[in-house]
Amino acid sequence: MIELGKIQKLKADRASEHGLYLIDETEPSGNATGKIESVLLPKLQAKKIKVGDYVEVFVYKDSEDRPVATCDTPLITLSHVARLKVKETTGIGAFLDWGMPKDLLLPFKEQTKKLQAGEEVLVALYIDKSDRLCATMKIYHYLQTGAPYEKDDRVTGTVYEVSGNFGTFVAVDDKYSALIPKNELFHPIPIGAKISCRVVKKTDDGKLTLSAREKTAVQMDADARLVYLTLRSAGGFLPFHDKSSPEAIKERFGLSKAAFKRAIGALYKAHKISISEKGISETGEIDS
């Protein structure tokens, strides 16, 4: 069967003044609803192809909504994910450059943030209810599992969704499914941002769990420096201690309460701060 949105090998069945009509010789002919029996390869692309030849083409719809074949390779194919540039935004959605003569529509309902012309966006290609190829930023179900990474590997990816219940969803290498749980990320990251993370674990179904923080020993040094520099910029005193609320600590330092307690504990042992019921005070210089 000839399928929209896919690269496929078809046979040149007959010629016309407009080009060559291609068929899928492996499928019996019929009149099934929605089935594409043949597709036109326009004359300009069919110059070196004869009736009976097999040709690898991509099938999409032209500006008049007719199925058409091309020997050009698009930047994205059906059910796959790719980073595409926004050419313009309109009243019905954004139009993306996907390497085809007709730009690809990203409908408003498939957008997860406001877009601007010129920016790149991570999308998947799907067929909508009107049998048209469209893009979506809701890519969770299109991402691959089984990433070639293991615990403690460093990875990079694109943030594509933020959930108040689960955390921040990331497309590692722009194609593998991953999640930063809420307790592993204390600074909000916008959709579309590139991020470098550490792999915490790989689930049984091949998805990655990530952390934006280093291992505890390494991260503690960075957290201690953050707390100390924040303390100095505040004049040497801050009304925070190990009894402060997690919410207040997160808002002021961007740290969990456990990370904050480890940081001030390290600073106290190094004689850099003193801790009282009122808060923490600077007592010495931190190493550079």
Q: Supply 94's token pair.
A: 């954004």
- 219: confidence class by pLDDT, cuts 50, 70, 90: low
Task: Say whether pLDDT at 286 is over 90.
Answer: no
Task: State both tokens at 224.
Answer: 């201690």
**Residues forming a β-bridge with 29:** none
For the residues 181-194, what does the mean pLDDT come to?
A: 84
Helices (H), the chain: 216-233, 246-253, 257-269
Token pair of 93 as six digits: 């959605």
Other beta carbons within 10 angstroms of residue 125's beta carbon come to 26
Average pLDDT for 50-71: 94
pLDDT at 162: 92
Question: What is the structure's pLDDT at 260?
Answer: 87
| Rg, Å, the chain Cα set | 27
Residues 83-109: what's their mean pLDDT?
A: 96
CB 96 within 8 A of CB 85: yes
Q: Which long-range contacts (CB under 8 A, 24 or more apart) does 179-186 make?
A: 179/207, 179/208, 179/209, 179/210, 180/209, 180/210, 180/211, 180/212, 181/209, 183/256, 184/210, 184/211, 184/212, 184/213, 185/211, 185/212, 185/213, 186/250, 186/254, 186/255, 186/256, 186/259
Structure tokens at 6: 């896919």
Of the ranges 83-92, 190-199, 245-254, which is most confident?
83-92
CA-based angle 143:148:154, to the nearest 5?
95
Q: Distance between CA 71 and CA 53 in Å, rounded?
A: 14
Would you place residue 218 in the very low, low, confident or very high pLDDT band (cuts 50, 70, 90)? low
Residue corresponding to tokens 């003569």: 101
Between strands 208-211 and 176-181, the pairing is parallel
How confident is the model at residue 25, as a pLDDT? 85
Strands 176-181 and 194-202: unpaired
The Cα–Cα gap between 59 and 47 comes to 18
pLDDT band at 115 (very low <50, low <70, confident <90, very high): very high
pLDDT of res. 288: 44
Distance CA 202, CA 55 (A): 41
For residue range 5-57, list pLDDT tens digits in order: 999 999 999 999 999 999 998 865 544 445 788 999 999 989 889 999 999 99
- Taking the model in full, what pTM does it have? 0.72
Q: Hey, what are 121's tokens? A: 């966006």
Q: According to the model, what pLDDT value does residue 32 have?
A: 44
The neighbouring-strand residues paired with 171 are 158, 177
Residue 135: burial class (beta carbons within 10 Å; 0-12, 13-18, 19+): buried
Domain annotation for the chain: domains and CATH numbers: 7-70 (2.40.50.140), 81-140 (2.40.50.140), 143-211 (2.40.50.140), 216-282 (1.10.10.10)
Q: How far is CA 147 from CA 81, 95, 151, in A?
A: 15, 31, 12
